Structure 1
């Protein structure tokens, strides 16, 4: 038995019930959902005999996103807060800023300053969890530095952590 297709609003609420989404991300997912529905309807053997209801266009999706924002179901502030909270223990400021920029978001000044102030301690914690012992040679030190850099920590922070080998400055 075929499952009934969810309405666009129900699909959006399902996504938002799972986790916070940015407007750009939710719009992309809803457009993809509509596209999948169109392809499924076109390939269905019933599509030739039964009239297919019109699927929503991008404008209708934008109107739905406006409604969700108006009802505070879609919130940029909540998205930034949850994304930072989920990422700050494992990643550096550069990575967090880059990820938020991909969603069309930016940190407020206060949060950006808090992340900047805690970056060294967070980098040390990530370093200690992954390595725990000082580098024994230049190759090992370079490997540790690449690891921290790939996690989005600044080069200054990476240098301080690896040089001090996890000890307090």
Structure 2
């Protein structure tokens, strides 16, 4: 079981709850395979791991992993934040950590909350880049951001800024009229030329 746990942790960090569930499933599969072999009349393998209390065996693996620094829930939380913050809002990150039986530290939550608008705006720019011209499209953009865990106030701010043309920093807003092709002084304005 140790080798299996280390192999999973080598692929990526796991929370204790996630790794425990994986080990329990693996342990149960091993027991079922052994029972099938026993029922088929095959000789029983001499595997001492199958004779140990399953819960105690997993607890022993966790003690061994922690003592060597292989399993660390704080490191798992940090890796989840780093992996998710550019694509997810605070609510979604909290929810994901909650599924792993973990919570977000207050200082991490404050940092994420402080950058929520900028992260949502960057995600909106990557995904859409163009302000919605119809209510249906605006609703679709809002659902996208809300579904990624960004709060209602943040979503409204992003869409409001996108609609004002400020979302694409450094780029001039697009014009659809005949002035769009004009260049020089007064281009893109409604002022008549002299």
- Same structural fold, with TM-score higher than 0.5 when normalized by the shorter chain: yes
Q: How many Å separate the matches in 2 of 1:155 and 1:145?
A: 9
Aligned Cα root-mean-square deviation (Å): 1.9
Extract unaligned runs of 5+ from structure 2: 168-194
Distance 2:79 2:125 in 1: 25
Bigger Rg, which one: 2
- Which stretch shifts more, 99-108 or 85-94? 99-108
| TM-fit CA distance, 1:130 | 0.8
Counterpart for residue 167 of structure 1: 166
Counterpart contact for 1:41–1:47, Cα < 8 Å: no
Match of 1:82 among 75, 79, 82: 79
**Quick one: which of 22, 32, 40 aligns to 2:25?**
32
The answer for the alignment partner of 2:105 in structure 1 is 108
Aligned residues of 1:92 and 1:154 also touching (Cα < 8 A): yes
Match of 1:41 among 31, 34, 39: 34
Deviation at 1:128, TM superposition (A): 0.7
Aligned pair 1:22/2:15, yes or no?
yes
Q: For residues 6-50 of structure 1, give each alpha carbon's deviation from its aligned partner in whole angstroms, at most 9, with x where no partner exists.
A: xx0100111111110000000000001111112222333796232
Structure with the higher fraction of residues in helix conformation:
1
Q: Could you tell me how far 1:167 is from its partner in structure 2?
A: 2.4
TM-score by length of structure 2 reads: 0.78
How many pairs align?
162
Name the structure 2 match of 1:10: 3
Q: Flag the 1:97–1:140 CA change in 2: closer, same or farther, 3 A.
A: same
1:131 equivalent to 2:128? Answer yes
Aligned with residue 44 of structure 2, among 38, 51, 69:
51
Poorly superposed stretches of 4+, deviation over 3 Å: 44-47
User: Looking at both structures, which has the greater relative contact order when contacts are Cα pairs under 8 Å and sequence separation is at least 6?
Assistant: 1
